[in-house]
């Protein structure tokens, strides 16, 4: 009987950890998407200094996440987001219109990362 109770406790702890992880990933990807949108808005407004500062903040946010993250099991998305974030910062510094494409690519990659981390019935099976 004790083993069943311990198994149920372990299962409950794992389920709670999963939901906390999903909640954190959702909030983090929302913050990342908002940061990318801010970079785009500053670029459209012609505010180069704020655009570069927002791009650096985006880069720092992503790198801090990658240093602490043990939950990202899809490194393909992580590499793509890292590349997009670096492009955004570079284009912001150069005042290059290619920043729009880099921002769109980053938004798509962030959305894919969020979707990949969300548990679904098919992923559990």
Chain centre to alpha carbon of residue 109? 8
Mean pLDDT, the chain, integer = 86
Domains and CATH numbers, the chain: 24-118 (1.20.120)
pTM of the entire predicted model:
0.80
State pLDDT tens for residues 78-101.
788 889 999 999 999 999 999 999
Percent of the chain with pLDDT over 90: 46
């Amino acid at each position: 009987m004790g083993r069943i109770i311990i198994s149920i406790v372990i299962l409950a702890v794992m389920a709670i950890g999963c939901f906390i992880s999903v909640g954190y990933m959702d909030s983090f990807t929302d913050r990342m998407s908002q940061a990318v949108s801010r970079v785009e808005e500053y670029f459209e407004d012609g505010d180069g200094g704020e655009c570069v500062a927002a791009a650096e903040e985006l880069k720092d946010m992503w790198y801090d996440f990658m240093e602490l993250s043990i939950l990202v099991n899809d490194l393909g998305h992580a590499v793509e987001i890292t590349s997009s974030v670096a492009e955004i910062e570079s284009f912001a510094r150069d005042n290059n219109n290619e920043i729009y494409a880099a921002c769109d690519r980053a938004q798509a990659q962030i959305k894919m990362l969020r979707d990949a981390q969300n548990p679904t019935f098919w992923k559990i099976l």
